[in-house]
Chain A
Amino acid sequence: SQELEQSPQSLIVQEGKNLTINCTSSKTLYGLYWYKQKYGEGLIFLMMLQKGGEEKSHEKITAKLDEKKQQSSLHITASQPSHAGIYLCGGFSGGGADGLTFGKGTHLIIQP
């Protein structure tokens, strides 16, 4: 079965600094999704990547998918308190599967 590993598990960053979160899949991905979750709340969709080498940006967040479609990174530039939360990568590797497999998440804390 597919596994998604995220690193780091937690991250404390000073406000204004840049940061990167990584997600590695045990299988080639058909699609990779990034979500943000506030503690005890639902998942907010951030970005979806489908093609090898694809890169997408929204405001200060950039996500990339490698050419082999097994690794993705999420980069936040000039972090703000509003970026704090849990970042989850979710993906599926096909074979008729349409339920997402998620990583354990990265807890991001922004220090003022």
Chain B
Amino acid sequence: EPEVTQTPSHQVTQMGQEVILRCVPISNHLYFYWYRQILGQKVEFLVSFYNNEISEKSEIFDDQFSVERPDGSNFTLKIRSTKLEDSAMYFCASTSGRVWQPQHFGDGTRLSIL
């Protein structure tokens, strides 16, 4: 069964550094998402992406964050000037349709900011 793939599984970064989290969505999917889950808290929506542009973003997704689909398969989340509070599990998801299709999630990247 097709899967959403995320790399790396664990990323350790010094505070202030930039980090790029990578995702390969399911191949025929058109809508892509990033979510984060701080330890012990809810899964929170960050951003959705469709047709090479941001479709929706939450209040969390400020100027520190950016997303890109650099080629036909990868979907990336860049976090600039990381802060301690950026430590979380980051999930990528994709769906073939916007509303009436399930979002399929990857296994996540655990980001630890030191």
List chain A positions with a Cβ less than 8 A from chain B: 30-31, 33, 35, 40-45, 48, 50, 88, 90, 92, 96-105
Query: Is B102 in contact with A33, judged by CB distance below 8 angstroms?
Result: yes
Query: Is B91 in contact with A98, judged by CB distance below 8 angstroms?
Result: no
List chain B positions with a Cβ less than 8 A from chain A: 4, 31, 33, 35, 41-48, 55-56, 58, 89, 91, 93, 98-100, 102-108, 110
Query: Is B105 in contact with A42, judged by CB distance below 8 angstroms?
Result: yes
* A102 CB contacts on chain B under 8 angstroms: 42-44
Given A35-B105, A99-B33, the answer on whether A43 and B91 have CB atoms closer than 8 Å is yes
Q: How far is the CB of B99 from chain A (nearest CB, A)?
A: 6
Query: Is B56 in contact with A97, judged by CB distance below 8 angstroms?
Result: yes
Query: Is A42 in contact with B43, judged by CB distance below 8 angstroms?
Result: no
Select from chain A the residue with minimum beta-carbon distance to B34.
A99
Select from chain A the residue with minimum beta-carbon distance to B3.
A42
